[in-house]
Amino acid sequence: MTESFVRYVKYAEFVAQFGFFSTIIFCFIFIFLTLFGVKRNFGSYKNLLILFSAVGIVFATIELILYPNGYSHNAGFIFYSASRPFNMSKEAVSSLLAFYTGVYASTISMLSVQFVYRYWAIFE
């Protein structure tokens, strides 16, 4: 019994598009409120929050352009793209995927820094 997975690909593309637009809207609101609405001086943590939102916007934009797929095996991930946006060459798509994984890694790293900062702020 074979079934076409085109339907699932369309669902994944819709989720990526919804994620892009919601990220753009909410991150710009968050950046605006952080820059102009916060009266307390948070210092470098305020910069970290703004950077985290900006990297999220970049991440969502690259995801909308590439529609990357991920494969997880044991402790490794493989990201690939079945499409070639803007008629890019394979090398350009591979470079953009490498940039995508770098942005993903920086997002995870900043998230861990935020947790450590909050832990220190509460318990120290």
Does the pLDDT value for residue 9 go beyond 90?
no
How many domains in the chain? 1
- Sequence letter at residue 34: T
At 42-67, the pLDDT tens digits run: 778 889 999 999 999 999 999 999 99
Mean pLDDT, rounded, of the chain:
90
Cβ atoms of 58 and 89 closer than 8 Å? no
The band of 2, judged by pLDDT with boundaries at 50, 70 and 90, is: low
What is this structure's pTM?
0.86
Residues spanned by the domain of 66: 3-123
- 113 neighbors 68 (Cβ within 8 angstroms): no
d(C-alpha 45, C-alpha 58), whole Å: 20
